[in-house]
């Protein structure tokens, strides 16, 4: 019972899995959550306990947190990480799919914050890390619904941080740039499933161009390391954007202003000049 207790969502692959493993190597007892149990079983150990759940399921989230509290007595760290991306033209993504995007990425995080905060508040300690994105401060063609979900979680996180600071609970945003996981291949597959009129062909090609560097992008370990540093820090950063492309993109938007930045994005996506 001496270990610190962490809960990591989306732990069956990518950033969540790397984070669960790194926290476990650093003295945390980790509850690793996702839907694909067979993937979670691959990381089960004396320090990692899988829980199968969909973050959109209210009852399952309440049950998981109750299980952690009843077996381990507390939750020191929540890493909200489970996420999906549905690229495509805003006009063409069916609203039920857009709803799912918001349900997983925004309410999925909110559901866990609501479930763990009463315990953290009572113990007057805890750390919540919300994984957002470079696209939670800039919005680019083809990623409207994803950005909407991530902008919203940034807004919610900034509010929560101020609300729970006096209870000794820390709240951190970590904003990855492009990271080599299953995420980009999955989102491109999801985009292909959305029917688009021919007029949007260049947009779809532009989305591919924008993520073309993914095979050379850093792996999820760099984000896991940032999470570990944040949860161990007495005063963690409010928002940590990494690697450099994540920091630079937001800075470029601020320095260039909306119009020139939008032109630069279209250039990068290889859209024709206006």
d(CA 153, CA 16): 17
Nearest Cα to 84, choosing from 109, 51, 47, 58?
109
Distance CA(130)–CA(230), nearest Å, equals 11
Q: What residues act catalytically?
A: 146
Distance CA 119, CA 112 (A): 12
Nearer to ligand NDP, 103 or 263 (CB): 103
CA–CA separation, 130 vs 110, rounded Å?
10
Helices (H), the chain: 14-25, 37-41, 58-72, 95-102, 108-123, 144-164, 183-192, 201-210, 221-232, 244-268
| Closest distance to ligand NDP from the beta carbon of 38 (Å) | 9
Min. distance of Cβ 198 from ligand NDP in angstroms?
29
Closer residue to ligand NDP in complex, CB, 206/246? 246
For ligand NDP, the closer CB: 63 or 199: 63
With respect to ligand NDP, which residue has the nearer C-beta, 29 or 143? Answer: 143
Binding site for ligand NDP (CB under 6 A): 10-16, 34-36, 39, 54-56, 81-84, 104, 131, 133, 176, 178-179, 181-184, 186, 220
Residue 219 Cβ vs ligand NDP, minimum distance, rounded to whole Å: 10
Taking the complex as a whole, the smallest distance from the CB of residue 6 to ligand NDP amounts, in Å, to 15
CA 271/CA 274 separation, integer angstroms: 9
């Amino acid at each position: 019972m001496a270990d610190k207790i962490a809960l990591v969502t989306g732990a069956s692959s990518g950033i969540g899995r790397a984070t669960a493993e790194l926290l476990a190597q650093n003295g945390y007892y980790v509850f690793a959550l996702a839907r694909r149990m067979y993937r979670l079983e691959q990381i089960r150990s004396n320090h990692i306990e899988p829980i199968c759940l969909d973050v959109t399921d209210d009852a399952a989230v309440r049950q998981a947190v109750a299980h952690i509290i009843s077996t381990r007595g507390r939750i020191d760290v929540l890493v909200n990480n489970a996420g999906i991306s549905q690229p495509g033209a805003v006009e063409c993504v069916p609203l039920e799919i857009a709803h799912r995007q918001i349900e997983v990425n925004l309410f999925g995080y909110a559901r866990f914050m609501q479930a763990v905060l009463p315990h953290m508040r009572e113990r007057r300690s805890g750390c919540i890390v919300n994984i957002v994105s470079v696209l939670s401060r800039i919005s680019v063609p083809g990623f409207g619904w994803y950005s909407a979900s991530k902008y919203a979680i940034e807004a919610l996180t900034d509010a929560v941080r101020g609300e729970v600071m006096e209870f000794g609970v820390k709240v951190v945003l970590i904003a990855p740039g492009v990271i080599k996981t299953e995420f980009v291949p999955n989102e491109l597959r999801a985009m292909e499933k959305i029917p688009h009129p021919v007029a949007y062909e260049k947009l779809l090609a532009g989305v591919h161009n924008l993520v073309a560097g993914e095979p050379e992008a850093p792996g999820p370990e760099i984000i896991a390391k940032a999470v570990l540093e944040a949860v161990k820090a007495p005063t963690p950063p409010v928002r940590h954007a990494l690697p450099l492309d994540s920091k630079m993109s937001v800075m470029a938007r601020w320095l260039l202003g909306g119009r020139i930045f939008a032109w630069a994005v279209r250039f990068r996506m290889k859209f024709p000049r206006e």
